[in-house]
Amino acid sequence: PKRAVPPALTIDQLPDINAVLVSHNHYDHLDKASVKQLQARFGRDILWFVPQGIAAWLRKLGVERIIELGWWQSDYHGQVEAFCLPAQHFSGRGPNDHNQTLWCSWRLNFPDFSLYFAGDTGYAPLFNEIGQVFGPVDLALLPIGAYEPRWFMSPVHINPAEAVKIHQDIQARQSLAMHWGTFVLTDEPMDAPP
């Protein structure tokens, strides 16, 4: 699908990038052209954190520095520990690769700050488990769009009320809404999620 609004910044306008987190391999979250542009601009300066199964696809595009993790695994980038955590979603880029790679959320523990990135997800008890295992998080990035009709989308995308539940489950001090207003993917109006 085509974007309804342009990106806030082009790849050329980004500040120096030294790490990228990938939540899953859907086109709206792992864009081939963007990967190539990031690789051309930053090359080996970027360390890519990806869920299991995605590293091979990135290597075909010339990406060299990749940390591939399964759920509940972590690795470091300098002093930052990146935890690959569960989410309720699915993966696939075409008709023959459904759920052949993992999808995830991420928690980053900096020395004095913690960040949670939910990626794409439906609501599930796993968020309460994440909150119990890790305790409070300083800032959470939670998706609030692409959720109607509920009978079809609820397993894979949360609505704003479910984002509030996740905020509470993971004990977020603050949350920022994301995953809305970019692509027309579902039935709700583009400005409904906020």
Q: Is residue 20 part of a domain?
A: yes
Could you give the CA distance from residue 133 to residue 35 in angstroms, rounded to a whole number? 33
Indicate which CATH number applies to the domain containing 22. 3.60.15.10
Closest CA to 156 of 189, 118, 126, 123: 123
pLDDT recorded at residue 64: 94
Q: Is residue 57 part of a domain?
A: yes
Q: Is residue 4 part of a domain?
A: no
Q: Cβ-count burial of 174 within 10 angstroms (0-12 exposed, 13-18 middle, 19+ buried)?
A: exposed
Residues facing 81 on adjacent strands: 76, 109
For residues 1-26, give the mean pLDDT.
Answer: 90
Q: 1 vs 44, which has greater pLDDT?
A: 44
For residues 45-69, give the mean pLDDT.
Answer: 96
> SS3 for 12?
helix
* Contact predicate 147/161, CB 8 Å: no
Q: Tens digit of pLDDT for each residue in 140-181?
A: 999 999 899 999 989 999 999 999 999 999 999 999 999 888
The greatest distance separating any two alpha carbons of the chain, rounded to the nearest whole angstrom, comes to 44
Q: Tens digit of pLDDT for each residue in 80-126?
A: 999 999 998 878 788 888 877 899 999 999 999 999 999 999 999 99
Could you give the CA distance from residue 107 to residue 140 in angstroms, rounded to a whole number? 9
Q: Is residue 6 part of a domain?
A: no
Q: Is residue 80 part of a domain?
A: yes
What's the structural domain count of the chain? 1
| pLDDT above 80: residue 25 | no
Q: Is residue 59 part of a domain?
A: yes
Q: Is residue 184 part of a domain?
A: no
Domain of 62 in residue numbering reads as: 11-178
Could you give the CA distance from residue 187 to residue 31 in angstroms, rounded to a whole number? 23
Q: Is residue 133 part of a domain?
A: yes
- In b/e form, how buried is each residue of 57-83, taking b as 16+ CB within 10 angstroms? bbeeeebeebbbbebeebeeeeeeebb
